[in-house]
Amino acid sequence: MPALSERRWYNPRLPQTLVVSQWLLYFDAFWALLAVLTGGILGSVLGAVLLLGSLAACVYGAYGIANELKLGYQVALLAAFLPFIIRIIAVIQAGVPIADHIGFILVPGGIINAIFVYALVALLLHQQSREYQRVWFR
């Protein structure tokens, strides 16, 4: 009888920093999906594309971490920084100086949302996460 696939969507056997990162990435993917379904940011095609990219990066990043893939970890890092990248693009597209809107860029979506964004970045860049992925991810 063939062995069942060992691919998984969630891996509780990882270090705590990576386990929580998986949940936060799926949480962010849920909100990105809602944003796409309600029209996205910027009210443009670019906004929808960026949100779809964010959605895909969050899902693949969490899935990649669960399956201990280096590429998954790297995509998760990209997904963690996408809220900042998207806001920088929005400011540039509006044609205003970035320095005048630094609060908009550094506090994505308000204080509560910013806490989750910074928590994801901190968890992924934590020494325990980096060391584990360096040694065990393939």
Residue 10 inside a domain? The answer is: no
Quote the pLDDT of residue 10. Answer: 95
In a domain, 103, yes or no: yes
Range of the domain at 35: 16-136
d(CA 58, CA 63): 8
Domain contains 113: yes
Specify if 3 maps to a domain: no
Q: Confirm whether 44 is domain-assigned.
A: yes
Domain annotation covers residue 2: no
Residue 42, pLDDT above cutoff 80: no
For residues 102-126, average pLDDT: 92
* Cα dihedral 20, 75, 69, 32 sign: positive
Contact 51, 41 (CB under 8 A): yes
- Specify if 9 maps to a domain: no
What percent of the chain clears pLDDT 70, i.e. is strictly above it? 93
* 4, part of any domain: no
Q: Looking at the 3D structure of the chain, how many domains does it have?
A: 1
| Token output for 17 | 């920093």
pLDDT value at residue 40: 62
Q: Look up the pTM and report it.
A: 0.89
Distance CA 54, CA 82 (A): 7
